[in-house]
Structure 1
């Protein structure tokens, strides 16, 4: 199950579970659309993979399986 990490690893922008701007790679590295389409050029800086839009977990499913609250942020 996806962790649904709460922020962009590059700019630390909040990415709540329902955000349509969250992008993930195959290892679930999480970035915002702005960073992926801009500075990252569509390539994950951690693994070299590509990104896809992170699925949105329905609200009732979030009650059973909540999103992660652990923030990951790379220091610039």
Structure 2
């Protein structure tokens, strides 16, 4: 199950689990669409490809909550 991190690691933008627009690499480093584009879809942490993160339906978030740990180091 994906961790579904709540923010962009580069700019701190909120990325709700139920909303589209988040991009992740195979290590789940997480970036907003704008930052992923600026990074040419390459993760600056591991060099992996950034791909669209799937959304998690709101009805599933109660039993399978997304992470609340923010990764932005601003």
Normalised by the shorter chain, which TM-score bucket?
Answer: over 0.9
TM-score (norm 2): 0.94
CA RMSD of aligned residues (A): 0.9
Question: 1:54 is matched with which residue?
Answer: 53
| 2-structure distance, mates of 1:41, 1:57 | 25
| 1-structure distance, mates of 2:60, 2:73 | 29
Deviation at 1:74, TM superposition (A): 3.2
TM-score (norm 1): 0.91
Structure 2: any 5+ residue segments left out of the alignment? none
Question: 2:37 is matched with which residue?
Answer: 37
Deviation at 1:20, TM superposition (A): 0.9
Deviation at 1:72, TM superposition (A): 0.2
* CA deviation map 1:18-49 (0-9, x unaligned): 221100000000000100112x1111000000
| 1-structure distance, mates of 2:73, 2:25 | 16
- Residue 6 in 1 paired to residue 6 in 2? yes
Structure 1: any 5+ residue segments left out of the alignment? none
Deviation at 1:57, TM superposition (A): 1.0
Bigger Cα displacement from structure 2, 4-13 vs 56-65? 56-65
The count of corresponding residues between Structure 1 and Structure 2 is 74
